[in-house]
Amino acid sequence: MTLNYYKEELKNTAASLAKAGKGILAVDESTKTIGKRLASINVENTEENRKAYRGLLFTTKGLGEYISGAILFEETLFQNHTDGESMVKKLEKLGVIPGIKVDKGLRPLSGGNDVETFCSGLDGLVERASDYYSQGARFAKWRAVLQITEDGCPSKLSIKENAWGLARYARSVQESGLVPIIEPEILMDGSHGINKTAAIQEEVIKEVYMACQLNGVYLEGSLLKPSMTVQGADSKEQNDPQKIAEMTIRTMERSVPASVPGIVFLSGGLGEEAASIYLNLMNKQIRKANWNVGFSYGRALQHSCLKEWNGNNDSAGQKALLARAQANSEASKGCYIAGSQPSSDEALFVAGYKY
């Protein structure tokens, strides 16, 4: 099949994912990353335990009211829950669209600075994406990571290579009918201020869309998943939520084409409540473009849930998940009242975190 064949479907899927008041649950942790999450509640990283935890998420009644899609790791896309029903079916029953992380992880960038990486997984991607489509996935995710350092990162090389990888990925999965979520994450590590983040993020996102243009990516059938425009985690600067929301929207307005239907932010180590508050303020602002401004959170949707579940308490875990899903759904309509849903006040940022 070709991109032209899927255009209508891609546009419809992207619109369904970016519906006002709904967002995406990022539950695509690789085996190593989910192992760290499970270890935090003393649960062993076995396939049975991963299935139990993710099955709990995907059988949360009412989740589809707030969540439009869930990004899965490959293991989950092909997995059955303990009752024999597939995880894909569980999601479909909730009205949640299954998606798939298609990147194969970060690798050191030859010629770049020490911390710089590129995202791997382009070989055979059109074929893999087609298998994922047959299995029920309708969208995909690829995460490139850039870091701001005092010695000049991200380098021009890293910006170009990561933008190019994101665009090649996006075009490849569209050929197989999957909506690409394009994720250029700028890590929070560093002591830089918010203006520096904004300048670099603008440059990165513009480069991404130039590469998309060259690759013929169908923007109406794609979504952007950026980090919010915040100061570095070690910065002396203190910016209030309103400033962060304004700077984030300014960055997006300067760099994201209006034909992109939705911007779904990652939480990137922000606390659960902060991720909701910033999103809410962004949605209270009058904006120049019509893209839907929503969420695709991993930690900020799952942290309380994981703690409450604690390996066996399904109903407490599901209650916590629904609470954060509802909070972010309200925030994506600009009507979240801070503190109206329970949240964990634990810091979720881990400095120098290696994925």
Cβ closer to ligand 5MM: 26 or 217?
26
Rounded distance between C-alpha atoms, residue 30 and residue 258, angstroms? 32
Q: From the CB of 110, what's the least distance to ligand 5MM, in Å? A: 21
Q: Which residues sit at the interface with ligand 5MM, rule CB under 6 A? A: 26, 28-30, 33, 143, 185, 266-268, 297-300, 355
Nearer to ligand 5MM by Cβ, of 129 and 279: the residue is 279
How many other CB atoms are found less than 10 A from the CB of residue 311? 14
Is 354 in the active site?
Answer: no
Q: At what angle are helices 3-17 and 156-174 packed, to 10 degrees?
A: 100
Phi and psi angles of residue 207, each rounded to the nearest 5 degrees, phi first: -65, -40
Spatial CA neighbour of 112 closest among 144, 152, 143: 152
Tokens, residue 10: 């891609």
Contacts of 335 (CB under 8 A, 6+ apart): 280
Closest distance of CB 75 from ligand 5MM, Å: 12
Nearer to ligand 5MM by Cβ, of 6 and 305: the residue is 305
10 Å Cβ neighbour count for 337?
Answer: 10
Determine the Cα–Cα distance for residues 322 and 335; give it in Å rounded to an integer.
17
Q: 257: cis peptide before it, omega within 30°?
A: no
| CA nearest to 28, candidates 63, 76, 66 | 76
CB of 100 to ligand 5MM, least distance (A): 12
The residue annotated as part of the active site, out of 29, 90, 225, 272, is 225
Q: How far is the CB of 305 from ligand 5MM (least distance, A)?
A: 13
- The residue (of 33 and 215) whose beta carbon lies closer to ligand 5MM is 33
The reply to whether 127 belongs to the active site is no
Minimum separation from the CB atom of position 298 to ligand 5MM (A): 3
Per DSSP, the residues of 101-170 read E----EEE-TTS-TT-EEE---TTHHHHHHHHHHTT--EEEEEEEE---TT-PSPHHHHHHHHHHHHHHH
Using the minimum distance from each CB to ligand 5MM, give the nearer residue, 153 or 181: 181
Q: Residues 74, 161, 183, 308: which is the catalytic one?
A: 183
| Cβ nearer to ligand 5MM, comparing 6 with 323 | 323
User: Taking the complex as a whole, how short is the minimal distance between the CB of residue 228 and ligand 5MM, in angstroms?
Assistant: 10
51 token code pair:
């299935």
Contacts of 123 (CB under 8 A, 6+ apart): none
CB neighbour class for 312 (10 Å; exposed up to 12, middle 13-18, buried from 19):
exposed
Which sequence positions are flagged as catalytic?
183, 225
